[in-house]
Amino acid sequence: MTEINLITGNANKIADIKAILAPSGITVRNQSLDLPEIQGSIEEITIAKCRRASEMVVGGPVVVDDTALCFNAMNGMPGP
Q: Is the pLDDT of residue 79 over 70?
A: no
> Is the overall model pTM greater than 0.85, yes or no?
no
Total structural domains in the chain?
1
Number of C-beta neighbours around residue 79 at 10 A:
14
Helices (H), the chain: 11-21, 42-56
- Please report which confidence band the pLDDT of residue 18 belongs to, taking 50, 70 and 90 as the band edges: very high
CA distance 21 to 5: 13
Residue 66's Cβ-side half-sphere holds a number of Cα atoms within 13 Å equal to 20
Q: What is the mean pLDDT of the chain?
A: 86
- Please report which confidence band the pLDDT of residue 80 belongs to, taking 50, 70 and 90 as the band edges: low
Number of C-beta neighbours around residue 49 at 10 A:
20
CATH number at residue 22: 3.90.950.10
Q: pLDDT of 22-55, one tens digit each? A: 999 999 999 888 888 888 888 898 899 999 998 8
Domain extent at residue 65 = 3-79
